[in-house]
């Protein structure tokens, strides 16, 4: 530990933990590597490479299961890890350097490989903003992208069209993607046709919008064979996240990534009960010396037969590529790179109205009824996130009393002001935290004590004077007591460097100079951007959910602001969905509950993170106008009487299956909901 800490300090990192995060070093371990390499048939190939090898766990694992390739190679940028890797794999080619550097790649003996195996570094984009390190340089996000694009020129596994499309993907992937995205594009470009790509991935990563570029790549140039899921987050105890193994075989580029019929891959969900000291499946076959081979052979039989099985150790079932690609279509429709790829191959783009995702666990339960859906956005529903103030302690306060003209509030204790008198029209009721939610389904504005400042009518006298005629016309001077408070907040040093509130990166954009010649007034640091519908919604979901994800209805739509701790939903205008009550009823159905359980992000402690993107992708059955009216009635009952979920479920499922549903069908859906919740809480 002292050795590594010393290296971390020498390289300019605060600590070994910071260094580990910047390098994305969560090493796989040989035991898990044996399972991955067995599923990838490493023992049958003649060339293997790990381009982000770390200390060499995955390559050692390949050798332990009997692989004897003619060429075994590794690339690793960290000198400490590279040294360990070189010693463990003395007969291999271990190159030290940046895998996105064309010169480093040129040191390899091959351009294309039978097996590319990897646990790519999961370094968040915030950490790759600039180059760091002294004796070894960690490239910035821009350098990684440029290096990847340059490196693709030498990848002989790609023909000219492949290379052009890969470069489009490399140029177009999201700037907020973590380092795993370019890493996997690089890995995929190195796989020979007929070879395999095998990698480790966090399960939550699979639901990220920015990962859709990798999903597209896999469906276009590969055939996925297995997705193996760690059901109890038992594989990486130091990372405390659920992970998956993905194994895919390289094929000639398909013309249409969405043209699938009855083909499928195998989804295998491994319980922590199967894991022992000798590996993730050692207790699944306790009397066998080679449990990974037994597991791999059984998985191959399941892939051939398309059969499903279920026991306390393992759940396996086939997943249709048709369903998988349909879900991808929902995400791709909004990605810039997708439009570029489609135009390059003269393929038509498609409407985002099909922007929904059906989780694979629910697709088989639907019994083929997967085309009978539309997206929420196609029904004129607005979905977003609540208000981001950037300096909550200033903008939020507690309401004491008041009338239409003047109100008394308690600002943050940080400013040492017990009570403050302010104009009532500069305050908006706000809900900030889950602790403010009621036990039922309604948020009552009259019961909210929180307020958020809305200074669209008021400014400091000195700011009005400096702002010219347009400012004098729009703004009234703040009352003396309020002005004194705002000035006091502006004068406080927020840190040892003397940073003030108006210099914060989240507050400074509030400041605008205005355009005097057009009579556009300036705006000042204490003025939040104009509230949008997503800030004043009809319905909210807490973003972090320990229990079931649940929608709350606001009793005063467009009058109560909502903090960014919530995802927000609103009916833009009455149409197919007649009102917010109908939408509220649908969003609290067990169908929506199940979709979110299997599609939203599971956090380290088992909480479910429900973002706007997850709500946006909820599949909505094609509900007739008369049934939407029924849902509106049921929504009233749920909001005011806290009853009617069973009737809502019957109505929603009758639309999904185009028939009257029996209680057994609802019971099965509830079982799936419970299964999903138990799965994440474990």
Q: Which element (helix H / strand E) includes 75?
A: strand 71-76
Report pLDDT digits (tens) over 461-486: 999 999 989 999 999 999 999 999 99
Residue 383 CA to residue 577 CA, distance in Å, equals: 15
What is the enclosing helix (H) or strand (E) of 85?
A: helix 79-88
Q: CB burial class (10 A; 0-12, 13-18, 19+) of residue 78? A: buried
What is the residue whose two structure tokens read 């994305």?
24
> Quick one: the chain helix, strand, coil %, rounded to 5?
40, 20, 40
H or E element that contains 553: strand 552-554
Give the mean pLDDT of the chain: 87
DSSP category for residue 137:
P
Condensed to tens digits (0 to 9), the pLDDT of residues 597-645 reads 988 888 767 889 999 989 998 999 999 999 999 999 999 999 999 999 9
Asked whether the beta carbons of 391 and 504 are under 8 A apart, the reply is yes
Q: What whole-number distance in Å separates Cα of residue 151 and Cα of residue 299?
A: 35
pLDDT digits (tens, 9 = 90+) for 302-324: 999 988 888 888 989 888 888 78
Which pLDDT does position 131 carry in this prediction? 45
Instruction: Please say if the pLDDT value at position 21 is more than 60.
Output: no
pLDDT value of position 127: 43
Tokens of 668: 């099965």
pLDDT at res. 130: 44
Contact 471, 514 (CB under 8 A): yes
- So what's the pLDDT on residue 27? 52
Average pLDDT over residues 84-95: 93
The mean per-residue pLDDT over the stretch 532-541 comes to 95
Average pLDDT on 416-424 reads 92
Rounded to 5°, the CA angle 213-237-86 comes to 75
DSSP per-residue letters across 233-271: S-S-TTTTS-EEEEEEEE-SPPS-TT--SS-EEEEEEE-
Residue 109: Cβ-neighbour burial (10 angstroms; 0-12, 13-18, 19+) = exposed
Q: Are strands 47-50 and 71-76 parallel, antiparallel or unpaired?
A: parallel
Q: Are 189 and 169 in contact (CB under 8 A)?
A: no
For residue 349, what are the CA distances in angstroms to 217, 330, 345?
Answer: 17, 12, 11
The mean pLDDT value for 91-115 works out to 95
Q: How far apart are CA 362 and CA 640, in angstroms?
A: 31
Q: Which residue has the higher pLDDT, 107 or 136?
A: 107
CB 399 within 8 A of CB 449: yes
How would residue 663 be classed by pLDDT, with cut points 50, 70 and 90? confident
List CB contacts of 23: < 8 A, sequence separation 6 or more. Answer: 77, 78, 121, 123, 138
3-class state of residue 655 by DSSP? helix
């Amino acid at each position: 530990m002292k050795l590594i800490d010393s290296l971390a300090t020498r390289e300019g990192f605060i600590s070994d933990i910071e260094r580990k995060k910047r390098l994305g070093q969560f090493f796989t371990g040989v035991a898990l590597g044996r399972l991955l390499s067995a599923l990838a048939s490493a023992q049958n190939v003649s060339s293997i490479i790990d381009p982000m090898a770390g200390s060499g766990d995955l390559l050692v694992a390949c050798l332990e299961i009997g692989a004897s390739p003619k060429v075994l190679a590794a690339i690793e940028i960290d000198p400490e890890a590279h040294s360990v890797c070189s010693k463990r794999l003395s007969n291999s080619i271990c190159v030290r350097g940046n895998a996105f550097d064309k010169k480093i790649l040129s040191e390899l003996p091959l351009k294309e490989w039978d097996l590319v195996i990897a646990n790519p570094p999961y370094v968040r984009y915030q950490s790759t903003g600039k180059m760091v390190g002294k004796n070894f340089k960690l490239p910035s996000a821009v350098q990684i992208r440029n290096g990847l694009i340059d490196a693709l020129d030498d990848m002989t596994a790609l023909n000219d069209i492949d290379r052009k499309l890969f470069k489009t993907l490399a140029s177009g992937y999201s700037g907020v993607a973590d380092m795993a995205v370019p890493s996997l594009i690089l890995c995929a470009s190195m796989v020979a046709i007929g070879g395999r790509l095998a990698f480790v991935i966090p399960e939550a990563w699979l639901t990220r919008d920015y990962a859709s570029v990798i999903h597209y790549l896999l469906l276009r140039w590969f055939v996925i064979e297995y997705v193996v899921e760690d059901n109890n987050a038992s594989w990486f105890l130091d990372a405390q996240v659920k992970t998956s193994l993905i194994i895919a075989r390289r094929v000639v580029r398909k013309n249409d990534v969405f043209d699938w019929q009855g083909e499928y891959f195998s989804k295998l969900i491994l319980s922590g009960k199967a894991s022992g000291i000798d590996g993730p499946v050692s207790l699944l076959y306790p009397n066998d010396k080679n449990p990974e081979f037994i597991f791999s052979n059984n998985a191959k039989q399941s892939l051939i037969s398309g059969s499903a099985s279920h026991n306390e150790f393992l759940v396996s079932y086939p997943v249709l590529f048709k369903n998988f690609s349909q879900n991808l279509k929902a995400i791709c429709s909004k990605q810039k790179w997708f439009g570029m790829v489609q135009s390059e191959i003269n393929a038509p783009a498609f409407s985002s109205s099909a922007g929904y995702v059906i989780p694979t666990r629910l697709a088989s339960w639907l019994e083929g009824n997967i085309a009978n859906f539309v997206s929420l956005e196609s029904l004129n529903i607005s979905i977003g996130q609540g208000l981001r103030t950037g300096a909550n302690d200033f903008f939020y306060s507690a309401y004491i009393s008041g009338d239409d003209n003047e109100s008394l509030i308690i600002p943050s204790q940080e400013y040492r002001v017990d009570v403050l008198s302010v104009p009532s029209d500069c305050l908006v009721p706000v809900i900030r935290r889950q602790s403010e939610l009621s036990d039922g389904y309604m948020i009552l504005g009259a019961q909210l004590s929180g307020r958020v400042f809305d200074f669209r009518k008021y400014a400091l006298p000195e700011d009005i004077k400096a702002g010219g005629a347009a400012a004098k016309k729009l703004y009234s001077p703040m009352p003396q007591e309020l002005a004194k408070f705002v000035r006091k907040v502006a004068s406080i040093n927020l840190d040892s460097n003397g940073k003030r509130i108006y210099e914060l990166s989240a507050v400074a954009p509030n400041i605008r100079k205005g355009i005097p010649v057009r009579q556009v007034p300036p705006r000042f640091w204490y003025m939040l951007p104009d509230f949008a519908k997503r800030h004043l919604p009809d319905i909210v979901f807490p973003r972090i959910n320990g229990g079931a994800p649940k929608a709350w209805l606001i009793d005063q739509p467009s009058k109560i602001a909502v903090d960014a701790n919530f995802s927000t939903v609103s009916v833009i205008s009455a149409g197919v969905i007649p009102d917010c009550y109908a939408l509220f009823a649908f969003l609290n159905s067990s169908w929506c509950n199940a979709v979110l359980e299997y599609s939203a992000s599971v956090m380290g402690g088992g909480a479910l993170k429900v973002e706007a993107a997850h709500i946006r992708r909820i599949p909505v059955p094609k509900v007739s106008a008369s049934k939407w009216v029924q849902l509106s009635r049921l929504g009233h009952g749920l909001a005011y009487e806290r009853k009617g979920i069973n009737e809502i479920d019957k109505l929603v499922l009758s639309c999904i299956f185009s028939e009257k549903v029996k209680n057994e069908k609802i019971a099965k859906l509830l079982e799936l909901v419970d299964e999903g919740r138990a799965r994440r809480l474990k």
